[in-house]
Amino acid sequence: MEITLQEITADNFYDVCLLTTNKSGIPTFDEEFLCSNSVSIAESKYYPLLNPQAIYSDKILIGFIMSGPYCKDNGNFWVLRYMIDHQYQGKGYGKKAFHTFIEQIKRRGNIEQIHIGLDPDNIRAVSLYTSVGFEFTGERKDGEDVYILKLIQNAP
């Protein structure tokens, strides 16, 4: 299984919008722990420093991630959305895809740490992010617990 992160384009945006974490397979505006991919893609047009990407396993679209400097947090680098479609959850794609994302960010060389906000009730997400090295900061932002992954060990 080769995981790649690809640009959202006119060719794939509709399919990305159809991805969902809902067990019914029907995407909704607000899902249990995140908003829909269509909202995220629209948001990226108003905040052009955000980078929405499609997640593929080989040639199969399996998920979505959006990251970049967060305007409500002094430009710190955040993962604002991350999801694996309901039919691919629990198969190891989430962790592997997130490792691919971390390697992509490390290659950029200019980001010291990645922030993420998690609903404390989202046990699966907390488990995933802590397993790849995120640590809880003890802070809350926008109703979520803030976690940080330090890419450079001397990062604040």
Find the mean pLDDT for residues 70-78. 85
- Give the per-residue pLDDT at 107: 93
| Of 6-10, 67-71, 80-84, the least confident | 67-71
The sign one gets for the Cα dihedral 141, 145, 151, 155 is positive
- Give the per-residue pLDDT at 82: 95
pLDDT per residue as tens digits for the range 19-73: 998 888 778 777 778 789 999 999 999 999 999 999 999 999 999 999 999 887 8
Q: How far apart, in whole angstroms, are the C-alpha atoms of residue 107 and residue 109?
A: 5
Cβ-contact 32, 76 below 8 angstroms: no
Instruction: Please enumerate, as own/partner, the contacts of 126-130 that have beta carbons within 8 Å and a separation of 24 or more.
Output: 128/94, 128/95, 128/98, 129/98
- Give the per-residue pLDDT at 146: 96
Residue 30: what residue type?
A: D
Encoded tokens for 87 = 């039919």
Q: How far apart, in whole angstroms, are the C-alpha atoms of residue 48 and residue 37?
A: 16
- Give the per-residue pLDDT at 30: 72
Q: How far apart, in whole angstroms, are the C-alpha atoms of residue 32 and residue 116?
A: 17
Place of tokens 């995220």: 40
pLDDT per residue as tens digits for the range 88-142: 999 999 999 999 999 999 998 889 999 999 999 999 899 999 999 999 999 998 8
